Amino acid sequence: MSTTDPRTENFPLAAESREAIEAALREQRALTPTERVIASVEAYTPEEAAERTLANEMLADTRPGVRAPLLINLGPNHPSTHGVLRLIVELDGEVVKEVTPVIGYLHTGIEKQCENKTWWQSVTLVTRMDYLAPFANIKAYTMSVEKLLEMEVPARAQWIRVLLAELNRIASHLVWLGTSGLELGAMSVFFYCYRERDNLLDLFEMVSGERMNHRYFQVGGCAQDLPPGFIERLQAFIDEMPRRIDEYEALLTGNPIWKDRMKGVGVLPAEDLIALGVTGPTLRAAGVPHDLRKTNPYSGYEHFQFEVPTATEGDCYARYLVRVREMRESLRILQQVIDGLPEGPTIADDRKVVLPPREELAWSMEALIHHFKLVSEGYKVPAGEAYAPIESPRGEMGCYVVSDGGPKPYRVHMRDPSFVNLQATAPLCRGTYLADLIAIVATLDPVMGGVDR
């Protein structure tokens, strides 16, 4: 990482691309499109730009009426790019000709770390990927491990998982709505959304002791039963929330500025979205009713009555409407969970995998031994591979695990919907205005923790 070039001494980013480009030249291979764009935008002198890059070709085109495109760098720290997303935009006047997303600024190597932790320690790590949907991460992971263990999860635990997953969906959509409003100039929406989200974080705290990055779902079930008084507070939330959603809609749905910024912006045909691997509300807003809760019900979703909101326009406004309606459908599911929550244990009764109940440690030698073995050595998972997909607030969240039969995962991979959906940025933005790019990235709802993992 060290460099002796005084021009780049205080600019580690530029030094990084410089070294990469020199390496590519040494290997005698051409720069890839992404590398070329990065090199262009980080060039310090006209000679340097001309030597290597895009800018050269752009400036060389002197035909009458051809304007030299402008290359601008948005991010990685920019208030409207949802975290550390860097977009290099090639502009012709106000029109976007090409967008190159550059990611990886939040890469923490969680997948590598999981390989060096036991199966049950990894639960803590995967929770931290998509930080707005921690329950979705942890659910995909625990489901894939349960698949390999061929373990039955008790009904009550499944329902509690549904309950928290749906609360999490609402919380995540609230953050999306609030920040999207902020990016498009509707500041008050942000305050309203975060007010309700805080209530949700209080509920999460009540259940798991933490407001974010909960380690509440365990392989086999849930860590504890719901605490006393939780259902009452949840009921109060469910009764209150529809009125709150009406408030957001009153602010936005008919708002002419909101509609102007969003309608007809960022449209791709459904086939193109599917080819790009896009899932979740973005795909549903283009008319494809693909929701894993309906098409491949897991965790007892087949017991609940709910609609899958879709729209046909496929623009930013349709994505907004779909997400708002999804919040209402989640409330419907939550009411059904409260009304029908089955009695019974909240975690599987498998002493070789699941920690024994705390109070038993005081009097049972066996429980103490099991506890000690599970915590110090972990449990073994039969060799094989499994992929467990779930519907996260952003689309298909899948966890692919490979076991070699030992107490540590051989490989953990998260298929994060933010990562895959973000690929649609360039096709969605080509030919739109720079201001539309902000709306498009906002309605794709990428969470950089999930993108970079």
Partner 1 sequence: MSDVSAQIELASPGAVVGEFEHVGELTVEVQKERIVEACRALRDGPSQYVLLSDVTCADFPDEPGRFRLAYQLTSLATGARVRLRAWAGALDPEIESVTSVWPGANWMEREVYDQFGVRFNGHPDLCRILNPLDWEGHPLRRDYPIGGEEVQFSDAV
List contacts with partner 1 (CB under 8 A).
1, 9-10, 12, 16-17, 19-20, 23, 32-35, 38, 103-104, 107, 109, 111-113, 116, 147-148, 150, 274-279, 288, 290, 292, 295-296, 384-387, 389, 396, 398, 400, 402, 410-411, 413, 415, 419-420, 422-423, 452-453
Minimal distance in Å, beta carbon 413 to partner 1? 4
Minimal distance in Å, beta carbon 171 to partner 1? 25
Q: Which is nearer to partner 1, 21 or 442 (CB)?
A: 21
Segment (H or E) for 74: strand 70-74
Minimal distance in Å, beta carbon 222 to partner 1? 22
Q: Which is nearer to partner 1, 106 or 262 (CB)?
A: 106
| Half-sphere exposure (Cβ direction) of 346: Cα atoms closer than 13 Å | 16
Minimal distance in Å, beta carbon 186 to partner 1? 31
Q: Which is nearer to partner 1, 12 or 269 (CB)?
A: 12
Q: Which is nearer to partner 1, 93 or 109 (CB)?
A: 109
Q: Which is nearer to partner 1, 49 or 276 (CB)?
A: 276
Minimal distance in Å, beta carbon 317 to partner 1? 24
3-state DSSP assignment of residue 231: helix
| Half-sphere exposure (Cβ direction) of 438: Cα atoms closer than 13 Å | 16
Minimal distance in Å, beta carbon 438 to partner 1? 22
Structure tokens belonging to residue 371:
């506890």
CA atoms of 118 and 124, how far apart (whole Å): 11
Dihedral through CA 20, CA 23, CA 25, CA 30, nearest 10?
A: -60
Minimal distance in Å, beta carbon 94 to partner 1? 26
Q: Which is nearer to partner 1, 56 or 113 (CB)?
A: 113
* Angstrom distances, CA of residue 164 to CA of 82, 88, 161, 206: 24, 37, 5, 12
Residue 305 φ then ψ, to 5°:
-95, 120
Residue in 338, 329, 337, 305 with CA at minimum distance from that of residue 393 = 329
Q: Which is nearer to partner 1, 251 or 402 (CB)?
A: 402
CA angle 298, 413, 162 (to 5 degrees): 25
The amino acid at residue 58 is: M
